[in-house]
Amino acid sequence: MATRPIFAALKEVRSAVTQITLFTSLLDALIVFTLCVLVFILIGLEWWYGLAIALAYGSVHTYRSVKKRQNLAYVEEKVPELSEQLTTVADNTDKDNPIVLSLQEDVLRGMRAIKTSYFLSFGRLTRELITLAVVSILIITASAHGVRFLDVKQTLKDLGELGKGPSGPYELSGEGLEFFENMSEDIYGNKTLAELGNDELQLQLTPMLTDIDIGRTKPPESKEFRSTLPEEIKATTDVSFQESIPKGYQRIVKSYFSEIAKTS
C-alpha cells in the first residue's frame, strides 16, 4: 500500500506548500525588519533591535502559516477542482476498496494540473516587494542625510537625570548659580567646563558624508622644520613701479605721495 502514487503525490503537494509558505514568511519578516530598521534609525536606536523583532515575528508567523497550510483544505481552496476530494483521499489512505481506488486515480489526475503559482498571490507578492524596495530606499536616504526625529536614548537619559531631583548636575538653586558666576571671572573660562567629565563622547560618523575611513590609519610622518628667514631685511622700490609711470607724470605722483605723507 505504501507504494501507491497517491502517497508520493500528497507528500509532494505538502512539500511545495511548505516551501512557498516559508518563502512568503521570510518576505514578511524582511518587511518587518526593514520597517523596524527605518523606525529605529529615525528615533536613534540600534538597528539590530529590528533584527530581534523580525526574528520573533518570522518564527511565529512561519509556525502558524505552516500549521494552517499543511491542512489539505488549503490546497483544495486554491484548487477548486479537487474540492473535498483531496482531504477525503488523504483521510482514507488506509482503505482499499474500488471507490477509494477510483477516487485516488481521479485525484492524481487532478493533481497533475496543480501549479506552484496557484499558491502564490502575485498581487500580494508585488505589493510586498514594492514595500520592501520603498522602505530600503528610505533607510538609505535617512542614513545618508543623518535624519533623526528623536534621540530616544538621549531623551530617556535626560528624563532619567531630571528624575534625580535637586542633587543632580542641573541644580538651579541660588548656591549653584553663585558658584558658576564666581568661576566665570577667568577670561578663558572655567577649565572644568571644557572637560567631558566621566561621560563617554558619542561620536557617529556617517560614511556617506565623508571619505574619511577612521579604520584605515598609518603612522604619522616625521617632518623637519628649518628657518627660512633671510639674514638682512631691506626695502626697495619695485622696478616696475617706476617703469610703468611715464616720466612726465613721475613728479606729480611723487608730490601726491608727499602730500599724503604730510596729512597722515
Partner 1 sequence: MRMEDTKKTFDHLLHEMNRVIVGMDEVLKQMVVALLTNSHAVLEGYPGLAKTLSIKTMAQLLSLKFSRIQNTPDLMPSDITGTYIIEETTGGKRSFKFQPGPVFANVVLADEINRATPKTQSALLEAMQEKQVTVGNTTYKLEEPFFVLATQNPIEQEGTYPLPEAQSDRFLFKIRTEYPTFDEEVEIVNRYAEEEKKVALKPVLGRDDLLYLQSLTRQVPIAADIKKYAVSLVHATRQKKDLIEYGASPRASIGLVLAAKGRALLEGRKYVSKQDINMMALPVMRHRIILSFEAERQNLHEDDVIKQMLK
Which residues of this chain interact with partner 1, rule CB under 8 A?
73, 83-85, 87-92, 95, 97-100, 102-103, 106
Nearest distance from C-beta of residue 106 to partner 1, angstroms: 7
Nearest distance from C-beta of residue 73 to partner 1, angstroms: 7
Q: Which three three-digit cell numbers place residue 39? A: 523606525
How would you write the chain as a 3-class SS string? Answer: CCCCHHHHHHHHHHHHHHHHHHHHHHHHHHHHHHHHHHHHHHCCCCCHHHHHHHHHHHHHHHHHHHHHHCCHHHHHHHCHHHCCHHHHHHHCCCCCCHHHHHHHHHHHHHHHCCCHHHHCCHHHHHHHHHHHHHHHHHHHHHHHCCCCCCCHHHHHHHHHHHCCHHHCCCCCCHHHHHHHHHHCCCCCCCHHHHCCCCCCCCCCCCCCCCCCCCCCCCCCCCCCCCCCCCCCCCCCCCHHHHHHCCHHHHHHHHHHHHHHHHHC
| C-beta of 14 vs 27, nearer to partner 1 | 14
| C-beta of 29 vs 111, nearer to partner 1 | 111
Nearest distance from C-beta of residue 14 to partner 1, angstroms: 16
> In this structure, what is the dihedral angle of CA atoms 130, 133, 137, 143, given to the nearest 10 degrees?
130
| C-beta of 94 vs 231, nearer to partner 1 | 94
Nearest distance from C-beta of residue 98 to partner 1, angstroms: 5
| C-beta of 67 vs 164, nearer to partner 1 | 67
| C-beta of 101 vs 183, nearer to partner 1 | 101
| C-beta of 67 vs 157, nearer to partner 1 | 67
Residues 83/76, Cβ–Cβ less than 8 Å = yes
Nearest distance from C-beta of residue 108 to partner 1, angstroms: 13
d(CA 175, CA 170): 12
| C-beta of 35 vs 82, nearer to partner 1 | 82
Nearest distance from C-beta of residue 109 to partner 1, angstroms: 13
One-letter identity of residue 62: T
Nearest distance from C-beta of residue 107 to partner 1, angstroms: 9
